Amino acid sequence: MAYNVHDIRKQFPILNQEVHGQPLVYLDNAATAQKPLAVINAISDYYLKYNANVHRGVHTLSQRATDAMESVREEVRVHINATEAAEIIFTRGITDSINTIAYGMSNRIHQGQNVVITAMEHHSNIVPWQMLCERTGAELRHIPMDEHGELVINGLEDIVDHNTAIVAFNHISNTLGTINPVEEILSRSREVGAWTLVDGAQSGPHAQVDVQSWDVDFFTLSSHKMYGPTGLGILYGKRERLEAISPYQGGGEMIATVTLEKSTYAGLPHKFEAGTPHVEGIIGFGAALKFLNEIGIESISAHEQNLLEYATEKCSKIEGFRVIGNAKNKASVLSFVVDGIHSYDLGVLLDQQGIAVRTGQHCTQPIMDAFCIQGTVRASFAMYNTFDEIDSFMSALSRAVTMLR
């Protein structure tokens, strides 16, 4: 079937509003995507019909809630092709997912070993590893980036060596849109026996991932970037890896036995899910996942790529416009500066014309330092954006630049 963006937009009521008297053009999807009616209705349905705590009751509502939540775990397993549902852990977000692994590895890493990240990571995939290295005395290394916003893979053998404990990197850069050479990095990591973690925050809504094909140890997804609720992350881990590390949170549900002297942990996945889970969020994410798959991630990605190419070509006509990140393999993120104009000022004037973009460092200060800039304007595209919206964005940007010069 042909991709019908207008039918898709009907599923997102929030888009049908005005901001400062202008039709809303929402281009901040890399920060969070809007939610379709299917997600909103699934959450409402949960609260209207079977709100209850899960795993802890024999009564009917609790059983319904448990079944609904656990069915999503299986849906995620199928979506990323994990071996078993127990390898799918529900967390509070990707930041929580990465911290879970970084803390859990504390007793497996020692001085003389190293942890490898890249120069284009989100702070959430930098700071937890810095903290781990500070606790253990391990060395933190990074794979460098060139002037195009692509990782410099030449020399990977020297960076990822037999003392590397884990290599953690993003699939797609939230700031540059760069799609990284995942399989090449994973292959080198396997050669030296290093564990691997791929951050799928930006790839979740744009690319299909097969964790078994990749043979990756850990993989993360973010619900709210995939048209689902906020406050929910997905952590995939191979069973043997998850069983080898310790949880960083203790409490109810994650235990097998508790005495006043000692506790033992429950099996997977509950070992890493302390306390009452984000039940409505998980159920909402299940609806988002179904919505995504019904439209088709490949179709969505193709539409977004067309938008990116159109927007890049249009905006390049503005004097002083510079794209930050010109990778050959790139997702639907347009990060840019206009010479002599602060990104914040552009963002304010765009908002006054109904255009929602993100400005600043995007939690990637090392990228900004590498390009010797203070920040960028980032327009990021989603399944519901249109070419007419790109034209509106272009016109608004031209007006804003004219006003600021």
Give catalytic residues, as residue numbers: 363
For residues 314 and 395, give the distance between their C-alpha atoms in angstroms, rounded to a whole number. 10
For residues 305 and 332, give the distance between their C-alpha atoms in angstroms, rounded to a whole number. 6
Whole-number Cα distances in Å, 326 to 169, 202, 263, 398: 19, 17, 52, 22
Indicate the residue type of 65: A
DSSP-derived letter for residue 77 is: H
- Picking from 273, 345, 223, the residue whose alpha carbon sits closest to that of residue 91 is 273
What are the structure tokens assigned to 113, written together?
């070993």
Q: What are the b/e assignments for 16-45, b being 16+ CB within 10 Å?
A: eeeeeeeebbbbbbbebbbbbebbbebbeb
C-beta of residue 396 within 8 angstroms of C-beta of residue 353: yes
- Picking from 147, 200, 142, 132, the residue whose alpha carbon sits closest to that of residue 167 is 142
Indicate the residue type of 184: E
Beta bridge partners of 167: 116, 196
For residues 56 and 372, give the distance between their C-alpha atoms in angstroms, rounded to a whole number. 54
SS (H, E, C) 112-140: CEEEEEECCCCHHHCHHHHHHHHHHCCEE
For residues 186 and 165, give the distance between their C-alpha atoms in angstroms, rounded to a whole number. 13
Q: 218: how many CB neighbours lie within 10 A of its CB?
A: 25
Q: Is 35 helix (H, G, I), strand (E, B) or coil?
A: coil
3-state helix, strand, coil in the chain (%, to 5): 45, 20, 40
For residues 92 and 278, give the distance between their C-alpha atoms in angstroms, rounded to a whole number. 8
